[in-house]
Chains A and B, each alone.
Chain A
Amino acid sequence: MVKHENFKTCDQSGFCKRNRLYADNAEVSSWTSPYELDPRTITFKNGELSGIILKSIEKRSEKVRLPITISFLESGTARVTVDEEKRQKGDIVLRHDSKARKERYNEAGAWALVGGLAPSAGAALSGEAKQGTTSVKYGPAGTFEAVIGHAPFRIEFKRDGVTQIQLNERGLLNMEHWRPKVDKAAAPEAKEGEALPAPAPPKDENEVDESTWWEESFGGNTDTKPRGPESIGLDISFPGYDHVYGIPEHASSLSLKTTRGGDGNYKEPYRLYNSDVFEYELDSPMTLYGAIPFMQAHRKDSTVGVFWLNAAETWVDIVKSKTAANKLSLGIAGTSSTQTHWISESGLIDVFVFLGPTPKDVVHSYGELTGYTQLPQEFAIAHHQCRWNYVTDEDVIDVNKKFNKHNIPMDVLWLDIEYTEYKKYFTWDPLTFDDPENMHKQVAKSGRKMVTIIDPHIKIADGYHVVEELKKKQFGVKNKDGDIYEGHCWPGQSHWVDAFNPLTINWWKGLFQYANFKGTGPNTFIWNDMNEPSVFNGPETTMPKDNLHHGNWEHRDVHNLNGMTFHNATYQALLSRSKAEEKSPRRPFVLTRAFYSGSQRSSAMWTGDNLAEWPALAASIPMVLNQGISGYPFAGADVGGFFGNPSKELLTRWYQAGAFYPFFRAHAHIDTRRREPYLAGDPYMGIITDALRLRYALLPTWYTAFHEASVTGAPIVRPNFYVHPEDEAGFAIDDQMYLADTGLLTKPVVTEGAESVDIYLGDDKVYYDYFDYSIYKGKGSHTIKAPLDKITLLMQEGHIFPRRDRQRRSSALMKFDPYTLVVVLGPDGKGQGELYIDDGESFDYESGAYIHRKFIFENGILRSEDIGKKGKLTGQYVKKMDAVRVERVIVVGGPGEWKGKSKVKVSREGKEVKNVEMKFVEGKSGKGSEVVVRDPNCKIGEGWSISFV
């Protein structure tokens, strides 16, 4: 059970409470937002509009000046940034002689953004603007428009003349400007009030509650808040949109729920404040380990989105309204709208607006800004076996052997914290891991890797070189007084690495050198846990907000970025572990628990410490899907469940689901019984092995999907609304997953004792059962028999996907195996798909060392086309893969007239023609037919065609 008392509710988080109250006050019809854009200040240059927003304060004639810029980017994205002039200029006084910076935090972009900021050349002020507004046309062919209202300040974003997104439409914009603390008792009259609506309500009734302005205590910790209240709030509305998705990480449904109470709804806003939540609860807006403040709204045939670039504690309220259509206007349905309210404790208002119109467009635009997912090494997308803990190096070697003995494929063995000596990272416990080199060597014999954990807390211990250097070089996070911060975590009293400091990163890189981290080798990779950061004695199990990071930014300002800076540093460290590797690096693999927008560039994530219970398995599906559409698709949940002992049935079902997590790792708590697949006994071991083998057979398809994600930002597993954006009935479906663009659709069994599952089809195409070709057709729900040994997996017509059927011990040992192509046809006899291959480990693909083919089936001919771009190393790589061929083509759903055919014609590079055997098996009783082409022997790196006519 999660300990609710350890985590704040909105009511216990001063700024959240204040902004919610602000929103409640704004509900009254007399409400006018006190923010006005001074039209005299507006300038427009290079796709950027700037000006000053003036905030009126009750009983004061002086107005607070808030500089605003609205950037229109070449990508069609718009960015709205609001700052506070006084603080920009450093014209404020901090309390408690604080050393903290005076500006509002303005470096989130430096960490999160990597591109897509080129200004739009075509954006221009529109002459058609109404009185009191400024209008800018931008985007593809000028079809986007931002209409900026001056008083009160507000923006409407339109696409093709239709309003999609509104900022400050409800008047909830709130930037708590800096003010000096005034002693109430001494001069109650001089008190400067919070902005209030005019006319101001009677004073005694609505006395401003300052109790959360200057100091806040929680769980025995007091936040000194040297800058006083400084929160920001803004309402963002999506008129006509009934569904919003995104803002991970929450254990909630994919389609976000409303948060202001009511039956079946949440009472608390969705919270984003990276936290180590012990035994987190399901179906909750509570915060978890990571934060991506990116939300998309979806309605039939339109998707739009916003990205709230702020790293402070953030809460998002969601309400929906159904505006019933005029009862007299028959036939016109009422429109649904979603209204959101974003609240952050400090920092800038910095919002990116994406106008779609497809989910793919929105996710792509977000990826342009924050980067696409890294192309991982191939082993990283295979099966990982973890446990807290394999207790000795011999234990590891033994587990490794047992996988081989039972012919269960596995790529990576993991070591949790117990491998270290007294939890001192970069050391090995000499009593239990006395020969880590040999351990790595034994594991490598089967092509396998190891992942060891390195956390950001550094044990305070005499003679421990890491902590001594950290202290000497001042690379640790500091407390509010500027002294190195000390807290409690696994090793006991510890300091925390401050990876915001570039010099810290340099030092961190050195620690991972093979020469320094003895016992590691080229097949060692890293797991960064506890980087929220988790601090056992801190408020909400993390750091005090008035701690100071590099550049004297308060922890308050950067909290949600902290985890990312740490795994980024580790990523960089893995690029340079030896002189040789510095010259020709291999792709790092880092798993992180905490994350932020941009984490996808250098890490994989998992959903943290889940429970070995059926509902946790069910909850993992929407969580993984949500990661996918939020730009961070390399995601998975602990297979088997972390806490507790899963039944064998649950374990088996979890492997079957896990085989479709982009990140596929089994993990278990130290107090649980061992549960490696080979221990499961009959029939479970065999069924689990089948699920693993399915993952391995489909690795070429997975790798191709990861490649697509790495160049377009597309999710790897996709929810129904993404694949069928027109299918209104399926917008809330979040318990089934499409694997990229392959037409493969799985609906994992997540309930005990299930004999069947209902799978939802979002269109009227033909779907075949992956294993027996049973046909399912017709939009809507279909029941599929699903006894324990059955993975519910369908193939949608119109696709071609590659497999490698030969089962090996690990993915590394499959590198030169031949391919099987599966062609799935419907009545139109058409299909297409892709294959991307490279060496699976180096960066040579950046110089063209890859093969990228498109397979097209039409008019009875299957052909392979090159869709790669030639580079320096292309020829060399294709040559290296010369012996790798297509050994088999399977066509499912081929036409009946092929019956009796026994030969197909194979041409290579358009020349040589030869006949190759094929076998047609008619589909009986509701099943699709199957054709197997026997060894067409086409080179995978060459063009070829196979004619069935």
Chain B
Amino acid sequence: MKVAHVVVIAIGAASHVIASSESPRPRGVGPEFGKHYKSAQSFKCINRPEIEIGKSQVNDDYCDCPDGSDEPGTAACAHLNNTLLALPGYYCKNKGHAPSYVPVSYVNDGACDHDLCCDGSDEWAGVGDKCSDRCAEIGKAWRKQNEQRQKALTNAAKRRKELLVDAERRKKEVEDRIKTLKTEVTGAEVKVEALEKEFADIERREKAKVVKAPKEGGKIGVLVSLAKGRTQELRSSLERVKAERDDAQTRLKELEDMLTQFHTDYNPNFNDEGVKRAVKAWEDYAARDKTPVQDVVNRDLTEILKDDGENGLDWAEFEGEHKESDIDVLYKFEEYLPASLRDWVDAKLRDLRIILIENGILPDPATAGGEESKAVVDARSALDAARNTLSSRNSDITNHEADLTKDYGPDGIFRALKDQCISADSGEYEYELCWMGNTAQKSKKGHGNTSLGTFTRFDTMVVDEDVPADGRGLGSGERIVMHYENGQHCWNGPARSSVIVMACAEKDEIWKVVEAEKCTYRYEVGTAAVCTDNGKNGAAAQKKDEL
């Protein structure tokens, strides 16, 4: 059996027991164990009843039972391993307050532990300072605070309900939005379909038209076309390379700035050869005659990247100088035919041409470098617009649906707190917590802000903490936690992360932040979002939800 540190028994029940039975229970025995000590002659060790000793050996300050049960009121069995003990500790009656158990090792050790045993009875032998009975005073204060705490918890439960309603409303909003979006998608789909058809028709129609022949022709034409394509290709890759260069320059600048900062900030006197070498190398580097990126080069690049037209290169001029194309021959062929036959041939040819084009035998004038007709362009852009609308609506739906399936904690309650932030002072920093968002540390000494992570997931954790009088504490048991990860990287260490351990409270409030280890932060936070309906901590409830 694991012995709790201090077990506070429900106050109402206990005072009743004390009032009704002034039993001859030995010192340190709680009412629930009284039955073991009834016999006037002998005592059987509670967990080892085969060991029977004389009654005089109970509380004679010598440990006889391997489970310590013969010495409930002394520290004689304080050498035993906790796991062996039959009793939860020394029972303090604490008349005027709640009875409690303290470990037997606290009995007669000379220290007054009024916060655990307010009647001071654990120091009955008077080994050290006299420990007075302070239960009246402590009990009164406790009751007053407890009243407030109860009130706060009732309020917390109420607030939780409000949060739930709010969360539900927000969820509903999302669902509604999805519904709306879905309707819009249906509309958009219809529209896209219509436009696709329209576009196809227009395009077909346009293809059939005798248009101005494509401009290609002859070897020069081919060469020009190739040259044009090649130039275009070179220009775009130059463009890309320039972008990469600019990016690299920015990064280099960033690194140089960092090193410059390092060079001014490092401790020049710390005998770290590694650092010294790095600094020396930097100084050499910085002193080297660097070829700065000249503006001239940049200007040239900008010029080069301009359109060919602006560079005085008019492709059209060269493209214009062409021989007859194959298609032109086709058209010209008609001219040698009689008029009647020509109309017939003309129609046939038109069909043939479409067939040839559609089968890829003849180049499509629309794509073969020829200008598209306005009608085709317009139809295309109308179609593109409709398609964009459709895909954007679809991605909105995906996002919202993802949001609906995202874990917002028990009953999705944290939806209500999303995008809200709270903060608290701790030491030289102000710590910030944005629900479902980021955590951050803001220096009061002006070192700037540091990200302590971004929300990744919910979890639970078993905690065992004292609750201070004001109720701002985690208490004991399973608590809901949020993990925030991948914050700013630590020098020589991992990325910063924080874990938010939450307990039921009326106000959303950061109680305490500790950097338990370098770069790992623990927030202790009160919020109504983790309460149960009756103002208790709701981690267990969440677990059930998960099952």
Chain A residues packing against B (C-beta within 8 Å) = 3, 5-6, 219, 391-392, 394-395, 398, 401, 404-405, 407, 429, 431-432, 445-447, 487-488, 492, 536-537, 541, 670-674, 693, 697, 805-809, 812-818, 887-888, 934-935
Contacts and interface: CB of A to CB of B under 8 A. Distances in A.
A808 B61 contact: no
8 contacts: A391-B514, A392-B514, A431-B427, A445-B111, A446-B111, A693-B79, A817-B75, A935-B60
Contacts of A492: 267
B426 A672 contact: no
A887 B268 CA distance: 63
B270 interface: yes
A671 to B, nearest CB: 5
The 8 closest A-B pairs by CB, nearest first: A537-B269, A488-B269, A813-B109, A805-B79, A431-B428, A432-B427, A806-B78, A536-B270
A672 B516 CA distance: 10
Given A805-B79, A934-B62, A671 B109 contact: no
Given A488-B267, A808-B105, A816-B110, A935 B62 contact: yes
Given A429-B428, A816-B127, A934-B62, A536 B518 contact: no
Given A391-B515, A446-B111, 15 more contacts: A6-B271, A392-B426, A401-B466, A405-B464, A407-B105, A429-B428, A674-B516, A693-B79, A806-B75, A806-B105, A807-B79, A809-B106, A816-B127, A816-B128, A934-B62
Interface in B206-232: none
B444 A809 contact: no
Interface in B318-369: none
A414 B268 CA distance: 30
A815 B55 CA distance: 29
Interface in B97-133: 103, 105-106, 108-111, 113, 127-128
B514 A697 contact: no
B493 A671 contact: yes
A404 B82 CA distance: 13
Contacts of A391: 427, 514-515
B492 interface: yes
B109 A3 contact: no
B32 interface: no
A806 B267 CA distance: 51
Contacts of B110: 447, 812-813, 815-816
Interface residues of B, number: 41
A536 B271 contact: yes
B273 A3 contact: yes
Contacts, number: 103
A432 B429 CA distance: 9
A405 B427 contact: no
Contacts of B546: none
A697 B79 contact: yes
Given A392-B427, A671-B493, A813 B271 contact: no
Contacts of A445: 111, 113
Nearest to B445: A431
Most buried by B among A541, A693, A808: A808
Nearest to B115: A445
Interface in B65-119: 75-76, 78-79, 82, 103, 105-106, 108-111, 113
A536 B492 CA distance: 21
B109 A814 contact: yes
Given A429-B428, A806-B79, A817-B75, A488 B270 contact: yes
Contact of B273 (A6, A674, A818): A6
Contacts of A401: 466
Interface string B247-279: 000000000000000000001111111000000
B512 interface: yes
Given A431-B444, A447-B111, A697-B79, A395 B514 contact: yes
A356 B512 CA distance: 62
B517 A674 contact: yes
B543 interface: no
B245 interface: no
Contacts of B60: 935
A404 B466 CA distance: 12
Contact of A673 (B75, B272, B273, B517): B517
Contacts of B272: 3
B204 interface: no
A643 to B, nearest CB: 12
A330 to B, nearest CB: 59
B62 A887 contact: yes
Contacts of A888: 62
Contacts of B492: 671
Nearest to B82: A407
A219 B271 contact: yes
Contacts of A447: 109-111
Contacts of A674: 516-517
A459 to B, nearest CB: 14
B144 interface: no
A620 B516 CA distance: 28
B5 interface: yes
Contacts of A537: 268-271
A671 B520 CA distance: 11
Contacts of B518: 670-673
B109 A809 contact: yes
A809 B116 CA distance: 14
A248 B217 CA distance: 97
Contacts of B108: 816
Contacts of B273: 3, 5-6
A407 B517 contact: no
Contacts of A541: 271
Given A3-B271, A6-B271, A432 B428 contact: yes
Contacts of B269: 487-488, 536-537
B61 A887 contact: yes
A487 B127 CA distance: 53
A492 B269 CA distance: 9
Interface in B438-494: 444, 464, 466, 492-493
Contacts of B517: 672-674
A818 B109 CA distance: 12
A844 B515 CA distance: 44
A404 B113 CA distance: 12
Interface string B423-440: 000111000000000000
B202 to A, nearest CB: 70
Given A405-B5, A445-B111, A814-B109, A807 B516 contact: no
Given A407-B103, A537-B270, A809-B105, A887 B464 contact: no
Contacts of A670: 518
Contact of A807 (B105, B268, B466): B105
Contacts of A673: 517-518
Nearest to A697: B79
A3 B62 CA distance: 58
Contacts of A404: 5
Contacts of A814: 109
B524 to A, nearest CB: 11
B78 A807 contact: yes
Contacts of A398: 514
Contacts of B514: 391-392, 395, 398
Most buried by B among A404, A429, A697: A404
Nearest to A818: B61
Contact of B76 (A487, A693, A806, A809): A806
B78 A808 contact: yes
A395 B111 CA distance: 22
A806 B271 CA distance: 50
A3 B272 CA distance: 8
Contacts of A405: 5, 464
Nearest to B112: A445
Contacts of A809: 105-106, 109, 111
Contacts of B128: 816
A536 B266 CA distance: 13
Contacts of A446: 111
